[in-house]
A and B are shown apart, each in its own frame.
Chain A
Amino acid sequence: DSGVTQTPKHLITATGQRVTLRCSPRSGDLSVYWYQQSLDQGLQFLIHYYNGEERAKGNILERFSAQQFPDLHSELNLSSLELGDSALYFCASSAEYRGSGYTFGSGTRLTVV
């Protein structure tokens, strides 16, 4: 157990639907990152939150949004889902100390049918 908790582990939904992925960072970590992993694209950075504020945005589609709540958990909302959104979505957290690297959760596997 890495200390980063993601739910649900698996999600199957239909095209056009909306889903919410949840992430609880490791205790004490203020930063939360979201990554999308598909077979051909590797790990794609989506967004970074630090203590409730958006800090950096990557290749995140307009149909996707995220937020970090006062208790530091984060949610990634995916709407108007398309087949191509099927992927593994990872959340990671990091400590203030730069040398600690990122700790990843076990991921949510999203399948859009």
Chain B
Amino acid sequence: QQPVQSPQAVILREGEDAVINCSSSKALYSVHWYRQKHGEAPVFLMILLKGGEQKGHEKISASFNEKKQQSSLYLTASQLSYSGTYFCGTESLYSGAGSYQLTFGKGTKLSVIP
């Protein structure tokens, strides 16, 4: 089942902060976050493997609440280069086959304006 992302779109001025949420109804093994700019491939930002794990990459960080099956991506002091569509991907066990399936949400379009 596809995870649900919110908001669907957000517009920020440079320097403002944003939070993107991702929730799933399935038990999760991990959560991935990707950013895709228009006409380009998605680019991996980070993966959270354990419940409660928080990871950071410069001014972009994320948390994963395994109990609630939710993850949030935090963007602080946004820059023009942060513009793009952000996708969360939730990884769950595939039919007991010992492999995992990464299912993406529909994305959150982030626009940063001067």
Q: Tell me the A residues contacting B by CB distance below 8 Å.
A: 2, 33, 35, 41-45, 48, 50, 55-56, 58, 90, 98-107
Contact = CB atoms under 8 A, between A and B. Distances in A.
Contact of A45 (B43, B44, B104, B107): B104
Interface in B61-114: 87, 89, 94-95, 97, 99-107
A78 B108 CA distance: 29
Contact of B42 (A45, A58, A90): A90
Given A45-B102, A45-B104, A56-B101, A98 B30 contact: yes
Given A42-B105, A98-B49, A106-B41, 18 more contacts: A42-B87, A42-B107, A43-B87, A45-B101, A45-B103, A48-B99, A48-B101, A55-B97, A58-B103, A90-B41, A98-B47, A99-B47, A99-B49, A101-B45, A102-B44, A104-B42, A106-B40, A107-B41
Contacts of B43: 104
A102 B105 CA distance: 15
Contacts of B102: 33, 45, 102
A58 B1 CA distance: 10
Interface residues of B, number: 27
A56 B43 CA distance: 22
18 contacts: A33-B102, A41-B106, A43-B87, A43-B89, A45-B103, A55-B97, A55-B99, A56-B101, A58-B101, A58-B103, A98-B47, A99-B47, A101-B32, A101-B45, A102-B89, A103-B44, A104-B41, A104-B42
A106 B89 CA distance: 19
A13 B103 CA distance: 29
Contact of B99 (A41, A50, A100): A50
A75 B34 CA distance: 24
Contact of B104 (A42, A50, A56): A42
Nearest to A44: B104
A107 B38 CA distance: 13
B46 interface: yes
